[in-house]
A and B are shown apart, each in its own frame.
Chain A
Amino acid sequence: MAKITFITPDNESVTLEAEQGSVMELAVSNNIAGIDGDCGGVCSCATCHVHVAPEDVAKVGAASEIEQDMLELDDNANEYSRLCCQIEISEQLDGVTLTVAG
């Protein structure tokens, strides 16, 4: 079980719990604003962009090459960017904070 906190574009803080699946699926199934996941989670659309809190970067891990490339579609991308369809939920993610970039 991992508790994940999303900061939405309206600066609302929402903490959700999950055991498995991707972070994008968790966000979409809980109506987190700004996470669309249009391609269904195959790293094709870049509509699930989040900024990982700097202190959580080690827990969340780095973006793969294709993910880093896709992030360049968004001018808002920075060193903390991830496409959250590519982040698998595990206990390791417990306590992380993700700010929706969209």
Chain B
Amino acid sequence: MSDDLNQTCVIIGASHAGVNAAFALRKEGWSGPIVLIDGDSNLPYHRPPLSKAYLTSDDDISSHLLKPAVSYQQHNIELKLGVVVERLDATTKQLSLSGGEQLGYDKLILATGARAFVPPISGLNSAKHVFTLRNAEDVNRIRDAYNQLAAQNRCRVAVIGGGYIGLETAASLRKMAADVTVIERESRILARVTTAQMSEFFTELHQQHGVNIATDKQVEAIQPGPHGDIVRCSDRSEIAADLIIIGVGVRVNTVLAEQAGIQLNNGIEVNQYGQTSNPEIYAIGDCSYHHNPHYDRKIRLESVQNAVDQAKVAAAHLCGKAKVYDAIPWFWSDQYDVKLQMVGLSDDHDEAIKRQEPEPNKFSVWYFKQDQLVAVDAVNHAKAYVLGTKLIKTQQALNKANIVDASVELNLANLTS
């Protein structure tokens, strides 16, 4: 075992998953070289603020670092930033890096994440101000373009895609005084990720803040207009925009995994330790397709929680410890003055119970499957989120009447009586 801990571990991808894996390896006793590689040349940074606080500020991304530069030195973690891994040869365990360097590994962690999907829309490539939002550079470009356009009173923004990224971006741009339209293909925003009642709440929230929510609209083409661009939809409607943001989901980065010949399935398939079909290679974070024991099904998650928890599990396993991935997923989204906190997976629920508190914009939705609590969505209601987290874990029978009745205090005793 001590020999193994002296080996070289290379981690590809230095965002939440990769960085946490590097530090967790040191914590678990890995003594050999750790090399952390990313094509992004910035020191690794927090991603969630990109569509929120970072977009609305003029901060440098260095004010959102995951760890200070000195931490990598202190833990003897070698950073190769602005370096792309061009080829992975799993037989010889060699990586070909941009710039020509060859780098050997004993163990490899793929934390390659996902990239923004750009749908095939006619005229997209010739449109002037079209952006995706995935990394700091994307947001720097959006901020620069928006500020230039706004200086000419050209503040019309079309956000294509009403998912969390699209809506957070819409809220941020609204705060920056943009005139925002969210264009959604489905009949409701957030259709892929949450329930109809949550979609309804967020639709109204955005409308109250002056955002135009346009659903059932498939974008067909982008054409140059007299001022800015015209987004043409399949229902023949047209939306004029000075700046266009595309937020229609991601594609998993699997090129290296394919080169290694490891098993793919909605991402990179891994076992309960984060190990791929090649035992020397692990995959963690957004790119991993894994089994969740609590829900007993395989899932792929795009979240900080999953990135951090899988990083710790993979690092422990690499150091010979039998820690398994057994997390209840959790997420959050901040839009305007609304904090949405979600715990669990609601997508196969058979009953949803809403509890509305007396205060406006403060409620929770409790999702059950066969009377078992599977998820809670809490809006401005951290207590409901925390209780949900505990009760999903313990799987206790719940008093549904006390959940609905906002005059009954929300606490463990009342929910389980």
Tell me the A residues contacting B by CB distance below 8 Å. 28-31, 36, 38-40, 42-45, 65-66, 69-70, 72-73
A40 CB contact (under 8 Å) in B48, B70, B386: B48
Within 8 A of A (CB), among B26-61: 46, 48-49
Nearest-CB residue, chain B, relative to A21: B63
Q: Which 9 A-B pairs have the closest CB atoms?
A: A69-B382, A40-B46, A69-B383, A44-B332, A29-B68, A66-B382, A72-B386, A70-B382, A73-B386
Chain B residues with CB under 8 A of A36: 308
Of the candidates A44, A45, A66, the one having the most CB atoms from chain B within 10 angstroms of its own CB is A44
Report yes or no: A40 in contact with B68, Cβ–Cβ below 8 A: no
Q: Considering only CB atoms and an 8 Å cut-off, how many residues of chain B contact the other chain?
A: 25
Bound Cα distance A65, B49 (Å): 23
B49 and A40: CB pair below 8 A? Answer: yes
Residues of A within 8 A of B16 (CB): 38
> Measured between C-beta atoms, what is the minimum distance from A46 to chain B in Å?
9
Tell me the complex Cα distance, A70–B334, Å: 16
- Residues in B with CB closer than 8 Å to A38 are 16, 304-305, 308
Question: Which A residues are CB-close (under 8 A) to B64?
Answer: 40
With both chains docked as a complex, state the minimum distance between the C-beta of B164 and any C-beta of chain A, in angstroms. Answer: 13
B71 touches A70 (CB 8 A): no
State whether A66 touches B332 (Cβ < 8 A). no
* Closest Cβ–Cβ distance, residue B161 to chain A (whole Å): 23
Cα-based distance from A43 to B378 in the complex (angstroms)? 14
Residues of B within 8 A of A73 (CB): 386, 389-390
Given contacts A31-B71, A40-B46, contact A70 B332 (CB under 8 A): no
- Contact call A70/B46, Cβ cutoff below 8 A: no
For B412, the closest partner residue in chain A by CB is A72
- In the bound assembly, the distance between CA atoms of A72 and B74 in angstroms comes to 33
B136 CB, nearest partner CB in chain A, Å: 13
List 18 A-B residue pairs with CB atoms under 8 Å apart, sorted by A's residue number.
A29-B65, A30-B68, A38-B16, A38-B304, A38-B308, A39-B332, A40-B46, A42-B48, A42-B339, A43-B339, A43-B382, A44-B332, A65-B382, A66-B382, A69-B383, A69-B385, A69-B386, A73-B390
Q: Give the residues from 386 to 405 in chain B that come closer than 8 angstroms, CB to CB, to chain A.
A: 386, 389-390
- The distance from the CB of A19 to the nearest CB of chain B, in whole angstroms, is 14
Contact (Cβ within 8 A) B334 A42: yes
Is the C-beta of B112 less than 8 angstroms from some C-beta in chain A?
Answer: no
Taking the closest CB of chain A, its distance from the CB of B43, in whole angstroms, is 12
Given the complex of chains A and B, what is the CA–CA distance between A66 and B382 in angstroms?
6
* Bound complex: CA A65 to CA B65 (Å): 28
B298-309 vs A, CB cutoff 8 Å, 1 = contact: the mask equals: 000000110010
Separation of A70 and B380 alpha carbons in the complex (Å): 12
Please indicate the chain A residues that have their CB under 8 angstroms from the CB of B334 in the complex. 42
CA distance A102 to B68 in the complex (A): 20
Selected from A28, A29, A39, A72, the residue in CB contact (under 8 A) with B304 is: A39
